[in-house]
Chain A
């Protein structure tokens, strides 16, 4: 294969591929999981859960939510202060499983109310 043809081909794949990944990353999300199914083997994995916020508190630059979905409860954290009061409302969150002080938590990336 000629170098010029290879360059054209690889450049086209690079541009289209990057575009496709950006679109997919913004639109594809995992199915909703039960909180009881989350365990420490899932560290760094993405999960989506649906449940009621039973507690909400904020510290400097951090919001901590406690969420129950009928199977179990879990703490979810977000690295910003939230003005909205979510306590008592049902939400869907997307985030990564982390461990903080021996407790499994979710680091929130997206909240849907």
Chain B
């Protein structure tokens, strides 16, 4: 039994590394393939071991998926907000440092989620109904707060971008001819728009430094505090996840770029782990991966939950080294090639991948999203307002 579990963790590490590194390949897709072909795998093993594989893969993915986001400007919906601060650090020769910050955040987020698991298991059934009632109002207050944080003359522009992306997001999510609408939406708004600007402005990358970045304890504690609050709010509610948690955190306290990257790592990993706890505690799957865990095991025991959390700890600890190793390789390799060429190749790759994953019509979403991303950059306002693409649909969904 134990050897099967170790093999499952190992294979999960490999699968999570692949899904994390390649833009557009989501862990849900691997879980779906595994689910569809489970009859084959069950000849050699059982549902619990398959679930261990899923947990290991999902945890590893939350560490690795910042790499394409920061180095290549190709994010998924969980890492979209890391593109800009990460890219700014990349332009200063600190791409490796940016990844290190997200890794620190992810690792501490992992530890905190496991440490607080007993608390969540007990309290969740009581706070869940309350959170469901207040989430729409909380998001409205935070959006208003974020708009008012901009300079006076930029507030209308921020509101305009929030509404425009909100309409685009709502229409895309309710577009019956589009599969996985979040892919063209987030790729366009946060990744491809940045790549296009880099090509137009002929951005050149400086030599990347691999030396240790000085990180203050205060930054880690601040990021963890905000991460715990926001992840706890979003992890147990339907239709919202890491991106909304980052928006909530930004509304709670003004933080520096470095702290923000630690925070994003914390949220990304915590939300994943808390979704396992939510599945056990209130029986509601809150991430795609939790949906598959539920399908594999139905209702699972507290002992099995702890097995999952320990699996996440093991996979997460190893992922720290895997992520830093790849970050080092990326940092050394990226300056050997003309950055404009890399941006161009990735942009073409994303444009080809979009119709494959989401259908031909999704190209209209991609082009529109790129245009909004460029507009937002040229307006000189924060990219967080583009989160309207997910926040507005959630507000509408909870209020109607």
Name A residues whose Cβ lies closer than 8 Å to a Cβ of B: 1, 3, 6-7, 9-11, 13-15, 17-18, 20-22, 24-26, 28-30, 40-41, 43-46, 48, 94, 99, 102, 109
Contacts and interface: CB of A to CB of B under 8 A. Distances in A.
A18 B392 CA distance: 15
B179 A25 contact: no
A24 B174 CA distance: 10
B35 A13 contact: no
A18 B368 contact: yes
Nearest to B197: A6
Given A20-B364, A24-B177, 16 more contacts: A6-B200, A7-B374, A11-B371, A14-B371, A17-B168, A18-B171, A18-B368, A24-B364, A25-B174, A28-B176, A29-B177, A30-B176, A30-B177, A40-B36, A48-B176, A109-B174
Contacts of B164: 14-15, 18
B295 interface: yes
9 contacts: A6-B200, A10-B372, A14-B164, A14-B371, A21-B168, A25-B176, A28-B176, A40-B36, A44-B179
A43 B32 contact: yes
A21 to B, nearest CB: 5
A20 B375 CA distance: 18
A94 B176 CA distance: 8
B104 interface: no
- Residue among B291, B368, B372, B379 with most chain A CB within 10 A: B368
Interface pairs A-B: 4 shortest CB-CB: A17-B368, A13-B371, A46-B176, A25-B175
A4 to B, nearest CB: 9
A25 B295 contact: no
B172 A21 contact: yes
A21 B32 contact: no
B167 interface: yes
A28 B268 CA distance: 35
Interface in B156-182: 164, 167-168, 171-172, 174-177, 179-180
A46 B172 CA distance: 13
A11 B370 CA distance: 10
Given A20-B364, A40-B36, A102-B295, A7 B378 contact: yes
Contacts of B291: 99
A28 B177 contact: yes
Nearest to A23: B171
Contacts of A24: 175, 177, 361, 364
Nearest to A30: B176
B365 interface: yes
Contact of A22 (B167, B371, B375, B379): B167
B374 A10 contact: yes
B367 interface: yes
Given A24-B361, A102-B295, A14 B175 contact: no
Contacts of A99: 291, 295
Interface string B271-298: 0000000000000000000010001000
Contacts of B372: 10, 14, 18
A12 to B, nearest CB: 8
Nearest to B177: A28
A45 B179 contact: yes
A20 B367 CA distance: 12
B197 to A, nearest CB: 9
B368 A21 contact: yes
